[in-house]
């Protein structure tokens, strides 16, 4: 490990005098520990990087490269030390969404949208501007990343390298001054890897912009202005790539990782702190960097985030477009929409049976009265069961449709949602956009169920009053399943949770079997199906069908207004839970 007097003075003075403020990015003894692990994920990382700079973070697998990047971005909270950006402590004031560009390893583009559409929606979520301005930003991003010719190509058919470019382009829409790229060259062929690396190097030439690339590859070292080597969460080296092989006393970069494995990470870290290796930055470069910061500081912060409703609207229209291009999902929705009401109507396709009444007079003999009572009981049993059953059947099928609407709405695209939140998307706006889209489905499903079954089975009662409990139960189950989706970590878990939610609706509603009273008091407030069933049956109150249902059910029927109120609360509760679930951080 080489040493120069100037390097010792420079670094020691730098660290000891706390002279981080003129650096774009400065990490001071940053640590990340978690209680379940003995060794820290990051231990005492001290690093300073200027603007107009392209740095690589390298190291063997599991050394903390991506962890470091996520800590800088704020995705992972560091447990010790300080991270400063342009002199300010990020724990006191975080990076603005426009300052940060974070390109994760996974693709954050929607495969069913074209390159241009992905960029357009990403831009609309992150910046204000009219259609013309948005298109200019899209065009510029495409030009910077060499995607202009792929503008109309769907993201789902792009190659790995093209997808990485698209990920980069989406971040460039806000012209960030800190661009973090996490393993964006991993898994690519050597040519694509070189193209992406050269592209990043070019992007770093913008004054004041710092680009950090996490990579395990040690090719193309000549492209980097600095290399940061991590091992076991510790900093082993952070300086010019030209010093790398001599510092590690190897003959080629490929031998660095085996050399790292020969000693403990703590020993490498200790050596780096005490070793006076040259940082590799000339004073003239620092002055230029400082000047560029003063010039570009305003520019990076000048683009405000779109408003809440603008973001919600963008999310809604993007969701609508995705739905229209997802043939499987659209076909499934249509199938459920048509089949479910038909299945209900099959049970009474000839209409509801007429009701024979008992003789009201008291002058019939006892035997006749008993015969009438028996006949009425049998009729009550059949017709009452039919009417009650049809009502509950519609409710359960609408609940199933509701769960299908939203069970995978959040969890299916969680990674993209987290990425967009990091870029400035408000969780409430995302929820509003999702809710607006789901509301459309709810409206169509409940309206069609009400109208179709009513028309075929000739259900009496007020149409509007019958539509309301159906719409609300569909909406309530949709929102509760949306909440489940926002709190689970996989589509399978979300689907299972939604299935249980719908599955318990029927037995706990009391519509088929009356629950013991104490249990009914406990469970009924929570069962949306009960309130929808009650509310629907109340619309038949002026008919004999209501009497027959009352004759066969021991479960008390709730009033219309109360039923609608409770269903609205279920809907509100689901939306509140969904908001909290969307708001929480869930990076994977």
End-to-end CA distance of the chain: 38
Using CB under 8 A, which of the segments 142-150, 185-193, 353-361, 475-483 binds other proteins? 353-361
Least gap, CB of 110 to other proteins (angstroms): 21
Q: Which residue has the tokens 């689901």?
A: 574
The stretches of 151-242 forming alpha helices (DSSP H) are 160-172, 190-203
Token pair belonging to 289: 């960097």
Please report whether residue 317 would count as binding other proteins according to CB under 8 A: no
Please report whether residue 562 would count as binding other proteins according to CB under 8 A: yes
Least gap, CB of 403 to other proteins (angstroms): 21
Q: Is 254 exposed, middle or buried (0-12, 13-18, 19+ CB in 10 A)?
A: exposed
User: Cβ–Cβ contacts within 10 Å for residue 296, how many?
Assistant: 19
Query: What is the three-class DSSP state of 234?
Result: strand
Least gap, CB of 568 to other proteins (angstroms): 9
Q: State which of positions 169-208 bind other proteins (CB under 8 A).
A: none
Least gap, CB of 376 to other proteins (angstroms): 6
Q: Which of 159, 561 has the CB closer to other proteins?
A: 561
Q: Which of 95, 429 has the CB closer to other proteins?
A: 95
Q: Which of 27, 397 has the CB closer to other proteins?
A: 27
Please report whether residue 362 would count as binding other proteins according to CB under 8 A: yes
Please report whether residue 365 would count as binding other proteins according to CB under 8 A: no
Q: State which of positions 383-422 bind other proteins (CB under 8 A).
A: 418, 421-422
488-504 burial code (b ≥16 CB/10 A, e <16): beeeeebbebbeebbee
Q: Which of 190, 307 has the CB closer to other proteins?
A: 307
Q: Could you tell me if 247 and 2 are in contact, meaning their C-beta atoms sit under 8 angstroms apart?
A: yes
Least gap, CB of 218 to other proteins (angstroms): 30
Residue choice 2, 371, 382, 584 for contact with other proteins (CB under 8 A): 584
User: Cβ–Cβ contacts within 10 Å for residue 580, how many?
Assistant: 14
Residue choice 361, 365, 367, 518 for contact with other proteins (CB under 8 A): 361
Least gap, CB of 384 to other proteins (angstroms): 11
Least gap, CB of 420 to other proteins (angstroms): 11
Q: Which of 246, 357 has the CB closer to other proteins?
A: 357
Size of the site for other proteins (CB under 8 A): 43
Q: Could you tell me if 186 and 216 are in contact, meaning their C-beta atoms sit under 8 angstroms apart?
A: yes
Distance of alpha carbon 379 from alpha carbon 253, whole angstroms? 88
Please report whether residue 151 would count as binding other proteins according to CB under 8 A: no
The stretches of 129-241 forming alpha helices (DSSP H) are 131-145, 160-172, 190-203
Q: Which residue has the tokens 């342009």?
A: 86
Token pair belonging to 12: 């020691």
Distance between alpha carbon 96 and the CA centroid of its chain, in Å?
Answer: 20
Distance of alpha carbon 361 from alpha carbon 282, whole angstroms? 111
Residue choice 41, 296, 544, 549 for contact with other proteins (CB under 8 A): 544
Q: State which of positions 52-111 bind other proteins (CB under 8 A).
A: 73-77, 90-92, 94-95, 97
Distance of alpha carbon 540 from alpha carbon 535, whole angstroms? 10
The stretches of 384-426 forming alpha helices (DSSP H) are 385-406, 414-422
Using CB under 8 A, which of the segments 126-134, 307-315, 452-460, 577-585 binds other proteins? 577-585
Q: Which of 393, 531 has the CB closer to other proteins?
A: 531
Using CB under 8 A, which of the segments 231-239, 260-268, 360-368, 475-483 binds other proteins? 360-368
CA angle 150, 174, 241 (to 5 degrees): 85
Least gap, CB of 320 to other proteins (angstroms): 28
User: Cβ–Cβ contacts within 10 Å for residue 212, how many?
Assistant: 27
Least gap, CB of 574 to other proteins (angstroms): 11
| Binding footprint of other proteins on the chain (CB under 8 A) | 73-77, 90-92, 94-95, 97, 357-362, 376, 418, 421-422, 525, 541-542, 544, 546-547, 550-551, 559, 561-562, 565-566, 569, 572-573, 576, 580, 583-585, 587
């Amino acid at each position: 490990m080489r040493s120069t007097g100037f390097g010792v003075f420079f670094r020691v003075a730098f660290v000891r005098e706390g002279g981080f403020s003129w650096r774009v990015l400065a990490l001071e003894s940053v640590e990340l520990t978690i209680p379940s692990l003995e060794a820290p994920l990051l231990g005492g990382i001290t690093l300073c990087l200027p603007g107009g700079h392209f740095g690589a973070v390298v190291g063997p697998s599991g050394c903390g490269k991506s962890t470091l990047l996520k800590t800088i971005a704020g995705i992972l909270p560091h447990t010790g030390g300080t991270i400063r950006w342009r002199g300010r402590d990020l724990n006191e004031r975080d990076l603005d969404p426009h300052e940060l560009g974070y390109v994760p390893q996974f693709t954050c583009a929607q495969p069913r949208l074209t390159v241009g559409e992905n960029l357009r929606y990403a831009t609309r979520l992150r910046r204000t501007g009219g259609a013309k301005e948005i298109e200019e930003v899209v065009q510029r991003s495409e030009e910077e990343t060499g995607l202009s010719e792929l503008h109309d190509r769907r993201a789902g058919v792009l190659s790995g390298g093209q997808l990485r470019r698209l990920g980069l382009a989406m971040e460039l829409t806000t012209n960030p001054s800190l661009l973090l790229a996490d393993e964006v060259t991993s898994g690519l062929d050597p040519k694509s890897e070189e193209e992406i690396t050269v592209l990043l190097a070019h992007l770093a030439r913008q004054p004041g912009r710092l680009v950090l690339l996490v990579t395990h590859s040690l090719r193309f070292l000549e492209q980097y202005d600095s290399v940061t080597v991590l091992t076991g969460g510790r900093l082993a080296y952070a300086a010019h790539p030209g010093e790398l092989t001599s510092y590690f006393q190897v003959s080629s970069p490929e031998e660095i990782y085996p050399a790292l494995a020969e000693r403990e990470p703590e020993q490498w870290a200790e050596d780096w702190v005490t070793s006076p290796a040259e940082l590799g930055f000339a004073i003239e470069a620092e002055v230029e960097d400082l000047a560029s910061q003063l010039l570009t500081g305003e520019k990076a912060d000048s683009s405000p985030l779109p408003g809440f409703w603008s973001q919600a609207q963008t999310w809604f229209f993007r969701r609508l477009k995705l739905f229209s291009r997802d043939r499987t999902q659209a076909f499934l929705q249509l199938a459920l929409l048509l089949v479910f009401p038909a299945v209900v109507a099959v049970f009474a396709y000839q209409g509801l049976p007429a009701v024979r009444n008992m003789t009201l007079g008291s002058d019939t003999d006892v035997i006749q009265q008993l015969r009438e009572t028996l006949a009425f009981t049998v009729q009550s049993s059949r017709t009452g069961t039919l009417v009650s059953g049809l009502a509950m059947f519609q409710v359960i099928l609408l609940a199933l449709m509701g769960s299908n609407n939203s069970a995978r709405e959040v969890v299916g695209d969680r990674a993209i949602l987290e990425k967009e939140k990091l870029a400035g998307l408000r969780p409430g706006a995302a929820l509003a956009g999702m809710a607006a889209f789901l509301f459309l489905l709810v409206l169509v499903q409940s309206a069609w169920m009400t109208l179709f079954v009513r028309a075929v089975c000739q259900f009496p009662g007020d149409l509007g009053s019958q539509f309301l409990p159906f719409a609300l139960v569909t909406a309530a189950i949709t929102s509760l399943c949306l909440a489940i989706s926002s709190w689970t970590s996989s589509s399978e878990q979300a689907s299972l949770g939604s299935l249980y939610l719908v599955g318990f609706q029927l037995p706990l509603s009391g519509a088929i079997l009356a629950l013991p009273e104490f249990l009914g008091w406990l469970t009924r407030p929570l069962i949306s199906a009960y309130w929808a069933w009650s509310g629907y049956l109340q619309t038949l109150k002026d008919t004999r069908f209501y009497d027959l249902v009352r004759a066969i059910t021991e479960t008390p029927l709730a009033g219309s207004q109360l039923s609608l109120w409770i269903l609205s609360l279920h809907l509100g509760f689901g939306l509140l839970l969904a908001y909290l679930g969307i708001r929480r951080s869930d990076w994977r």
